[in-house]
């Protein structure tokens, strides 16, 4: 079965620090990859996605992620974080045949909480 | 934001009572999903629907049932609520299934089972 690992449970940074959140998945077939963000008390919002093409994808609010197929990784980066980036970040993978069907349902990592100190 | 509403937004109930949560969308998307979010577990899929009257189980479907009689509504029922079902429940929708399944999430329902 597919799985998604997010290595850091809680990351604490000061404003202007650089951010990298790790995401690794286990699946040998074709995958599409997503990063979602959940601000405190809110629903999940899509930050960025990778379907195909350039493995370096840019999302909203200055975030980017790099798909490295050989490492089964899709790490999220931001050069300089702001206090408003305080949130929980979820990596998700969509591969064929999840849950025994062909619907391509998402599997989420357990999330990484980011706290940015002003 | 996608046109997704969930009702109720908060509910407190007692063990053994039935509970129904509603997800309503105005996007006319074919696919709808129910997830639960628990600390340390991320989001886990409960059930999903790929069309009116077409539903299937997800990772944590035990104790839950769903129905979809109209494109816009997807109901999640806890037949007899238990304390382990205390959670935040999110509905999501997507226009397409398969690999290109970009999901949009509703605001969530916080359910407490005493």
Q: Report pLDDT digits (tens) over A41-84.
A: 898 999 999 988 999 999 999 999 999 999 999 999 999 999 99
Facing B40 at nearest CB: one of A36, A90, A110: A110
Burial A67-101 (b: 16+ CB within 10 A, else e): beeeebbbbbebeebeeebbbbbbbbbbbbebbee
CA–CA separation, B76 and B89 (whole Å): 9
Q: A102 pLDDT exceeds 50?
A: no
User: What integer best gives the mean pLDDT of chain A?
Assistant: 90
> What's the confidence (pLDDT) of residue A15?
97
CA–CA separation, B70 and B74 (whole Å): 8
Alpha carbon separation from A15 to A18, A64, A118 (Å, rounded): 9, 18, 6
Q: How many domains does chain A have?
A: 1
Cβ atoms of residues B105 and B90 within 8 Å: yes
Q: How far is A82 from chain B (nearest CA, A)?
A: 23
> What's the confidence (pLDDT) of residue A103?
54
Q: Is A40 helix (H, G, I), strand (E, B) or coil?
A: coil
What are B92's strand-pairing partners?
Answer: B33, B105
**Chain A environment of B48 (Cβ under 8 Å):** 103, 105
> What's the confidence (pLDDT) of residue B100?
74
> What's the confidence (pLDDT) of residue A100?
45
Facing B56 at nearest CB: one of A51, A101, A111: A101
Confidence band for A30, pLDDT divided at 50, 70 and 90: confident
> What's the confidence (pLDDT) of residue A104?
60
**CATH code of the domain covering residue A20:** 2.60.40.10
Confidence band for A96, pLDDT divided at 50, 70 and 90: low
> Which CATH number does the domain B4-97 belong to among 3.30.70.940, 3.30.565.10, 2.60.40.10, 3.90.400.10?
2.60.40.10
The answer for A15, left when phi > 0, alpha when psi is -120 to 50, beta otherwise, is: beta
User: What mean pLDDT do residues A83-97 have?
Assistant: 88
Give the Cβ contact number of residue B40 at 10 Å: 7
CA–CA separation, B51 and B80 (whole Å): 26
Q: Is A10 helix (H, G, I), strand (E, B) or coil?
A: strand
Rg over CA atoms, chain B: 13
> What's the confidence (pLDDT) of residue A75?
97
Chain position carrying tokens 């104790």:
B63
Q: Which residue has the higher pLDDT, B1 or A22?
A: A22
The pLDDT > 90 percentage for chain B reads 86
Chain position carrying tokens 């839950």:
B64
The verdict on a CB contact (< 8 Å) between B106 and A108 is no
CA–CA separation, A3 and A1 (whole Å): 7
Question: What is the domain extent for residue A110?
Answer: 3-117
User: What mean pLDDT do residues A31-35 have?
Assistant: 91
Q: How far is B69 from chain A (nearest CA, A)?
A: 20
The list of chain B residues with pLDDT below 70 reads 1-2
């Amino acid at each position: 079965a597919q799985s998604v690992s997010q290595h850091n449970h809680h990351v604490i940074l000061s404003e202007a620090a650089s951010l990298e959140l790790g995401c690794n998945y286990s699946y040998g077939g074709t995958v599409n990859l997503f990063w979602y963000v959940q601000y405190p008390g809110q629903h999940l919002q899509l930050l960025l996605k990778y379907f195909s093409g350039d493995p370096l994808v840019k999302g909203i609010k200055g975030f980017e992620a790099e798909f490295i197929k050989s490492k089964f990784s899709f790490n999220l980066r931001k050069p300089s974080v702001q206090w408003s980036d305080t949130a929980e970040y979820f990596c998700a993978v969509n591969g064929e045949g999840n849950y025994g069907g062909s619907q391509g349902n998402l599997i989420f990592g357990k999330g990484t909480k980011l706290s940015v100190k002003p | 934001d996608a046109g997704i509403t969930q009702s109720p937004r908060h509910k407190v109930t007692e063990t053994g009572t039935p509970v129904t949560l509603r997800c309503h969308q105005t996007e006319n998307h074919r696919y709808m999903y129910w997830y639960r979010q628990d600390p340390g577990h991320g989001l886990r899929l409960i059930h999903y629907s790929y069309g009116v009257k077409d539903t299937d189980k997800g990772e944590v479907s035990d104790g839950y049932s769903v129905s979809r009689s109209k494109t816009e509504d997807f109901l999640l029922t806890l037949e007899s609520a238990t304390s382990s079902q205390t959670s935040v429940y999110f509905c999501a929708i997507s226009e397409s299934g398969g690999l290109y399944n970009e999901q949009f999430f509703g605001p969530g329902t916080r359910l407490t089972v005493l």
